[in-house]
Amino acid sequence: MSKPATLYDKVWDQHVVSDLGDGVSLLHVDRNFIHDLSGTRALRALAKEDRQVRYPSQTFACPDHTVSTDPLSDHTGERYERCVDPLRELSAKEGVRFFDMGSPEFGIIHVIGPELGLTLPGTLVLCGDSHTCTHGGLGALAWGIGVSEVAHVLATGTVLQKKAKRLRVNFEGTVPYGVSAKDLILYLIGREGAASGDGYAVEYAGSAIREMDVEARMTLCNLSIEMGAKIGMIAADEKTIEYVSGREYAPTGDAWEAAIEHWRGLSSDDGAVFDKELVVDVADVVPQVTWGTSPEHVVGIDGFVPDPAEEIDPDKRRSLEAAIEYTNLIPGTALDGVPIDRVFIGSCTNSRLSDLRAAAAVVKGRKVSGHVGAWVVPGSQAVKDAAEAEGLDVVFRDAGFEWREPGCSLCVGSNGETIAPGQRCVATSNRNFVGRQGKGSHTHLVSPVMAAAAALSGCITDARKIEG
Amino acid sequence: MEKFSTLTSVAAPMMQSNVDTDIIVPMDRMVTADRNAMHTFAFEPWRFLSDGSENPDFVLNRDPFRGAKILLTGKNFGCGSSREGAVWAIAGLGIRCLIGSSFGNIFYNNCFQNGILPIKLPIDIIEDFTTLANSGGNAAVFEVDLDKCLIMPSSGDPVPFDIEPNRQTQLLEGLDDVGVTLKRRGEIEQFRELDRRNRPWIYV
């Protein structure tokens, strides 16, 4: 009998084209997603070197970063000329499938990959975007790469990679009312730190994960990179198989039967060795909210802005001081009750149908606080269509939200959609970095229900007081 | 790619933890700036004041650190997005070597693609280097030898560092990864032929 192996090792081994020694392998890439920033640059670099896309049928292009989510946009201007139009043209030239704005396949790459059945359990998925770890929610081995590596994948269908160490995080217990996958992962990042995952491939396991639906698993894996781990994955199970079944690019017939048999073998064996293991008792977790400029600057909704003077570690103290200076918050302030200007529900973290349903359940029959500008940006055209089919757009609109077109939008502002300097935004996205949502912007990361509750209250608030 | 063998330069300390790629180059510049102009916006939120003038307090705006080719960095430098523009921005400033306790994983990979050497050392050694750098004068000058894997402070003992052998070769020889991998095309085709039988659903 072979040695017990981890999920990560099993999927890795199935992709080794060549073992180059010192832990480095040349790995086969099953799915190469390219977008309008790094994808366009990589295709251009390739053309400059007189090289071609080697396996266009395994490459999929979709512009998500720079496209406007304004329903009235005519989709013209510098961003389109620099980023979107060349991606469309170069994709056509290279025979790469291109999911254009308005098509039913269009959306944020990390939403549409799984949605279209392109991302499958056990696949190796790469994209020039750090949140590629999202695809790990289906049991894929997925991580973000830079432009040069994207060009390498385009030209060769492979990636050079050094084996990571293995970390397993076991989320055990029953998730309390009002707590979501977003809260669990933010809690973990707060507890362990933004660099704690460096050098690891993370597997999330435990009873709370098995109970979690597949979209929530994607949310959890999405924030792996905010813990410093570029890979986060969850073994596929019957929930995953049910999720994948019937999707546009998912296998059918005999191939489907063979695939699910294969996928059922892709979980960590009993006795598999991890370099590190952590346990989170999910009963301890309350809704989370970030206060600072790193996802590790996070507290429960019953928490307070920390006082740097109480921090003994000089490095952490400096980091807290800098964050407090930027955020204009006073140490000791309760997060519950901090006034806000904007709300953003969207991004590859939390823009799927289940996220919009959860937020809409809080919003239904209520109104957005007068001074708050609140947006819902569905993650894809399919999410938008499905949400509209069940009337969620009406719920949001009636409450005073803007209901927008799919795209990355206010998560990163690369499409020109930003918040004004000094404004405070409660967001379901993934980063609260300095200037992330625009120069001088302040971001507080939360779950969809917490964002919805903040929009109604005009301040950061505990959604559990509003729900139900 | 430009080869890397030895480097002698003042080292500039930038010891904040979690310096993210949005600080190293803001997203709007990633959209509008060309690769060779990216350095104009390196560390933009810190390097410039709101009126666009230089921030005199920022380390790379101060003597003797202006033009430094070595950067001493804190924990998790380059965390955040995968944008290679962060490395282009740093490289464009003339920085060729980063010495830090840990780096954002994707950023770390991107460094090697652009002829930049990121060295990981324990934080106490970097703190010592920072003290030397801040003492100014000749003490702020370090020599980095990639062939011997040694850092030689002008004052003090040489400090060895580890680097993966393939990365060392890549930098020393200025190798183009794509060119090297393309020589394995036969192996790749062989893998795919077998894989197509094992996992036909991958080949859509």
Q: Which of A217, A232, A278 is nearest to A11 (CA)?
A: A232
**Nearest CB neighbour to A413, from listed B27, B191, B195:** B27
Instruction: Encode pLDDT of B80-126 as tens digits.
Output: 999 999 999 999 999 999 999 999 999 999 999 999 999 999 999 99
What residues are paired with B12 via a beta bridge? Answer: B71
Question: Is A264 touching B (CB cutoff 8 A)?
Answer: no
- Taking CB atoms and an 8 Å limit, are B202 and A30 in contact across chains? yes
- Report the CATH number of the A7-163+237-253 domain: 3.30.499.10
Mean pLDDT of chain B: 95
The pLDDT value given to residue A6: 98
C-alpha torsion sign, points A355, A356, A362, A367: positive
Instruction: Encode pLDDT of A374-406 as tens digits.
Output: 999 999 999 999 999 999 999 999 999 999 999
The pLDDT value given to residue A47: 95
Give CA–CA dist B45/B22, Å, rounded: 9
Q: Which residues of A touch B105 (CB under 8 A)?
A: 198-199, 228-230
- pLDDT at residue A468 tops 60: no
Spell out the domains of chain B, with CATH numbers in brackets: 6-173 (3.20.19.10), 174-204 (no CATH)
The residue with tokens 């060119």 is: B179
- 3-state secondary structure (DSSP) of residue A362: helix
Q: Where are the domains of chain A?
A: 7-163+237-253, 165-234+269-284, 289-463
The pLDDT value given to residue A316: 87
A-chain residue closest to B79, CA distance:
A228
Q: Which of A355, A361, A335, A318 is nearest to A429 (CA)?
A: A355
Q: Which of A346, A350, A367, A340 is nearest to A423 (CA)?
A: A340
Q: Is the pTM of this model over 0.80?
A: yes
Domains A165-234+269-284 and A289-463 share a fold: no
Give CA–CA dist B34/B39, Å, rounded: 10
- pLDDT at residue B162 tops 80: yes
The pLDDT value given to residue A467: 59
**B-contacting residues in A 10-29 (Cβ below 8 Å):** 14, 17-18, 20-24, 26, 28
- For residue A265, give the amino acid letter: G
**Nearest CB neighbour to B102, from listed A195, A413, A435:** A195
Instruction: Encode pLDDT of A232-248 as tens digits.
Output: 999 999 999 999 999 99
The pLDDT value given to residue B70: 98
Question: Is A199 touching B (CB cutoff 8 A)?
Answer: yes
Instruction: Encode pLDDT of A52-98 as tens digits.
Output: 999 999 999 999 999 999 999 999 999 999 999 999 999 999 999 99
Instruction: Encode pLDDT of A156-207 as tens digits.
Output: 999 999 999 999 999 999 999 999 999 999 999 999 999 999 999 999 999 9
**Nearest CB neighbour to B178, from listed A24, A51, A225:** A51
Instruction: Encode pLDDT of A264-306 as tens digits.
Output: 999 999 999 999 999 999 999 999 999 999 999 999 999 999 9
List C-alpha distances in Å: A43 to A25, B1, B204: 24, 18, 21
- Taking CB atoms and an 8 Å limit, are A26 and B184 in contact across chains? yes
Report domain A289-463's class.
alpha beta
CA-based R_g, chain B, Å: 19
**B-contacting residues in A 114-173 (Cβ below 8 Å):** 118, 120, 122-123, 128-130, 132, 143-149, 151-152, 155-158, 160, 162
Q: How far is B201 from chain A (nearest CA, A)?
A: 6
Asked whether A91 and A61 are in contact (CB, 8 A), the reply is yes
The pLDDT value given to residue B83: 96
CATH superfamily of the A165-234+269-284 domain: Aconitase, Domain 2 (3.40.1060.10)
- Taking CB atoms and an 8 Å limit, are A152 and B177 in contact across chains? yes
Asked whether A181 and A212 are in contact (CB, 8 A), the reply is yes
The pLDDT value given to residue A310: 95
CA-based R_g, chain A, Å: 21
Q: Which residues of B touch A258 (CB under 8 A)?
A: 200-201
Question: Is A413 touching B (CB cutoff 8 A)?
Answer: yes
- pLDDT at residue A1 tops 80: no
A-chain residue closest to B78, CA distance:
A228
The pLDDT value given to residue A2: 81
Give CA–CA dist B4/B172, Å, rounded: 5
Question: Is B199 touching A (CB cutoff 8 A)?
Answer: yes
Question: Is A88 touching B (CB cutoff 8 A)?
Answer: no
Q: What is the dihedral of CA A35, A41, A47, A48, to 10 degrees?
A: -170
Average pLDDT over residues B121-141: 95
% of chain B surpassing 90 pLDDT? 93
